[in-house]
Structure 1
């Protein structure tokens, strides 16, 4: 009798140990163990490429060797090297508002490491290798300078998809940032190693094709999805290889990001030269080879000395994607004009006040002369006086026309703040979205939304990133995303009908603060003159040329 009880206890302990061990998947000859919680399972921090360290620094990502050793995948890997970001000196309500947005969306700096190319999978716990579920592949934002998948809980998406009866797999990836991922200059162009962060994303998408099936995903049903720099990355994945997706994805969902108005990779030469000087490589006959040997801490310190996303030059970023002749055969907006775009269903969106957060650094710019000098020095070093006149006429010093929009004379941190916020939001986000959608009208299915929620946030209004609180909080956008990934159409029972976007009817699903009517359908016809003006000016004067100082 005692032996029988012992046998029962032993069997129970084996079952308990198996459950505690967590769910497993087989990748090549390795067993990968994750964790389960409720209805979802997580497999985190899986390497998808060889470490971009040592001589692999500043080189294209290399595919991972077949997995041969079993391992646990229970925590996310470190972030890729981050750039130090400092908030402008603010006090009172402006500081409180900026801290809220930055710390909840951009400002969390995670432990980072140069060995960072890992991928994360969150799936329904009952998904099997034969489930063939749609996949949403998340690319985080952060100005190509900061960010990590650790900022976002994809379990919310998966749990909601299960509740809707349309289960999906959630994947998030790391990619190289700052100079590690977006080094620029003639040396970089000659070596064919520009836009490494975009190449990392592409490698992660290739990994999904090869390995998502064991998790229950269907490699033919991948939707790429991102916000801000992540959304720009999504759009640039659509432009790579002349618009050929190579079967890596079938749809794209973009929040606050479209093909950006950037120029050639050689425009960033000044930043390359500064990095070479700051790391002691100036005397080398091969400065790129020298940069591969610089100690990590010294290289990172030199990168931290370069302008960041909240520096005085603001969104004229030092480290960002540029036309390199390899990943991007031409500047993004010219590729759009040439029609070299993946013909897949897309969602492209913006928040109403995209430019406010990024305009806090220029509060000392207070009059007409100073804004002219600022724009010509920091944003458009090559602009003509006539074009500058046209631009300033399109974005006048009228507080009632500035951003945060529809707030009258309120939120004027300085005489030029709302004006500059309106210009920046349109130049980098709203106008590129409209330009992109207008060019693609009639060529593919498209939907667009505008988030006006959060207007009560002082000085920032419906700032960039505020819609993330909806989609990662299980709001209306969560359902639209899931249905879009599943059916290539965001519409479905229980949601406001979302019309397609065309030039004849540029419909916007508009999210409002109204409790009675939280969603309305509007038309994408606001600020037509301003956006048309800024689009034409930025086609002639692309972003990414260092300030003329």
Structure 2
């Protein structure tokens, strides 16, 4: 429920900010069946018999999969914003997709495709008003949470927001999670692996919005980034990527509970990579070998290592796209963002992320070590003293405050 409340609050920021459209020429939107694109009129929002519209991009044509004729919006599903990160592109930065000759009717993947279970997952969805042509609408870009190990673009959808207003365009995108999006370490990078791919994927999605959202009636100069938990961290990383030496890709931000743990260092990432690769027969972490392993085997091996060694999946400082933690970058002025920003917090969210839950006081120190790998015994004792047991109704609330 708190995630939807975040989106409603963010919509209150996005929707009133409709920019002047006097210089905008309108999106390329056609009404069409899957066999024709000759008509140039946009279907009426009240006509249930109108054909589903298509939108032409320079590499594909996408057709809406449905919408709501009464409220007046359409959903464009599973638009590929990067090449499939498979084969030689596994552990590589996202690349622009190839030209698609067939109309994309949203069936390139399951509607709820997730990078947790599918390697070919770099898709986004666009929801746009039926009368978007020429309106130059503000844009909301949603980045989901999930501890950098799960989540998907379809986990939260904007139907309720469109009940309130159809004066904006909504985008949600997938990014790589788990080992596919967070592999890191000296050996991995020395062999050509790109660190922090989840952050690269997020950047690429925002670049796609800048390049193509006007085709859907959106204004690329009025984009609000909205993120929850790991998604909030993604927004923070976009503000501070490359130490602020990269173009600003959005203009407002609404962030809730950015979920980044800054303490787990590079040596943990190296050991994790070595452990996973060795368990798969790729001794020494050879990247070519790791690219040949099936995705299911890769994910299963990674999950086993995480469970056995309490490894924390998270982006790590790599000296490049993440030159320092975003806290340090913000403090030092190493960011490129000049718009309004709201940062909020979900009370006790940490307890909901504590695997099977923190149920006893003994669990508290156990889960502190899980969430903060490498923490010293002295530091754990200090935390226990700073957050005394008698101040909390439950162990879970105590741990949530600590985290």
Shift of 1:264: 4.0
Whether 2:255 is the aligned partner of 1:254: answer yes
CA deviation profile, 1:110-153 (whole Å, cap 9, x unmatched): xx32111111100111101x221111011111111111122222
Deviation at 1:56, TM superposition (A): 0.5
Alpha-carbon offset, residue 305 of structure 1: 1.3
* Separation of aligned partners in 2, 1:36 and 1:382: 50
Contact 1:222 1:249 in 2 (8 A): yes
Displacement of 1:420 after TM fit?
2.0
Asked whether 1:36 is paired with 2:67, we answer yes
CA contact (8 A) 2:141 2:172 kept: yes
- Match of 2:95? 62
Q: Is the Cα–Cα contact under 8 Å of residues 141 and 228 in structure 1 kept in the other structure?
A: yes
CA drift at 1:159: 3.5
2:115 touches 2:174 (CA, 8 Å); kept in 1?
A: no
What does residue 337 of structure 1 align with?
A: 331
1:383 aligned residue: 376
Equivalent pairs, count: 354
- Give distance in 2, aligned partners of 1:133 and 1:122: 12
Q: Does 1:134 align with 2:167?
A: no
Residues 262 and 63 (structure 1 numbering): CA distance in 2 closer, same or farther, change over 3 Å?
farther
Equivalent in 103, 125, 128 of residue 130 of structure 2: 125
Match of 1:243 in 2: 244
Select 2:347's aligned residue among 344, 349, 352.
352
Rounded to whole Å, the distance in 2 between the matches of 1:126 and 1:378 is 47
Give the match's secondary structure for 1:224.
strand
TM-score where L is the length of structure 2: 0.79
What is the match of residue 527 of structure 1? none
Task: Please give the alpha-carbon distance, in whole angstroms, between the structure 2 residues aligned to 1:63 and 1:78.
Answer: 22
Describe the shift of the 1:277–1:40 C-alpha distance in structure 2 as closer, same or farther (beyond 3 A): same
Q: Is the 8 A contact 1:185 1:268 kept in 2?
A: yes
Quickly say closer, same or farther: Cα 1:259–1:364, change in 2 above 3 A. closer
Aligned to 2:172: 172
Q: In structure 2, what is the Cα distance between the partners aligned to 1:118 and 1:372? A: 39
Sort the Cα spacing of 1:19 and 1:324 in 2 relative to 1 into closer, same or farther, 3 A.
farther
Correspondence list, 1:124-273, <5 A: 124-128=129-133, 130-162=134-166, 167-190=167-190, 191=192, 193-244=194-245, 246-257=247-258, 260-273=261-274
TM-aligned CA distance change 1:41 to 1:50, over 3 Å? same
Match of 2:114 among 75, 80, 101: 80
Q: Whole-Å Cα distance in 1 between the matches of residues 55 and 365 of structure 2?
A: 59
Deviation at 1:161, TM superposition (A): 2.3
TM-superposed CA distance for 1:215, in Å, is: 0.4
Unaligned runs of 5+ in 2: 1-38
CA distance in 2, matches of 1:377, 1:69: 47
Contact 2:183 2:196 in 1 (8 A): yes
1:226, CA displacement in angstroms? 1.0
Which residue number corresponds to residue 399 of structure 2?
420
* 1:372–1:356 distance in 2 versus 1, CA, 3 Å: closer
Q: Normalization by structure 1: what TM-score?
A: 0.59
CA distance in 1, matches of 2:226, 2:216: 19
Q: Is the 8 A contact 2:276 2:302 kept in 1?
A: yes
| 8 Å contact kept, 1:23–1:36 | no
Pairing 1:288–2:287 present: yes
CA distance in 2, matches of 1:218, 1:58: 32
The Cα of 1:207 is off from its aligned counterpart by 0.9
Q: Partner of 1:119: helix, strand, or coil?
A: strand
Helix, strand or coil at the partner of 1:181: helix
Please identify the structure whose Cα radius of gyration is greater: 1
Query: 2:80 aligns to what?
Result: 47
The reply on whether 1:300 has 2:294 as its aligned counterpart is no
For 1:234 and 1:263, locate their aligned partners in 2 and report how far apart those are by CA, in whole Å.
20
Structure 2 partner of 1:323: 317
Task: Tell me the alpha carbon deviations over residues 349-390 of structure 1, each in whole angstroms, 9 at most, x when there is no partner.
Answer: 1122223223464657545xx8557646873534362x4443
Deviations 1:452-473 (A, max 9, x none): xxxxxxxxxxxxxxxxxxxxxx
User: Does the 8 Å contact 2:359/2:396 carry over to 1?
Assistant: no
Report the alpha carbon displacement of residue 259 of structure 1 after superposing the two structures with TM: 5.7
Tell me the C-alpha RMSD between the 2 structures: 3.0
Q: Which residue pairs with 1:23 in the alignment?
A: 53
Change (3 A) 1:353 1:301: closer
Cα distance in structure 2, aligned partners of 1:331 and 1:41: 39
Query: Matched residues in 2 for 1:216 and 1:372: separation?
Result: 51
Contact 2:68 2:74 in 1 (8 A): yes
Q: Distance in 2 between matches of 1:31 and 1:389?
A: 59
Q: CA deviation at 1:231?
A: 0.8
CA contact (8 A) 1:243 1:343 kept: no
Going from structure 1 to structure 2, the CA distance change for 1:79 and 1:325 (only over 3 Å counts) comes to farther
1:453-532, aligned counterparts within 5 Å? none
Assess, with a 3 A threshold, how the Cα gap between structure 1 residues 359 and 24 changes in structure 2: closer, same or farther: closer
**Structure-2 separation of matches of 1:269 and 1:143:** 20
Counterpart contact for 1:192–1:324, Cα < 8 Å: no
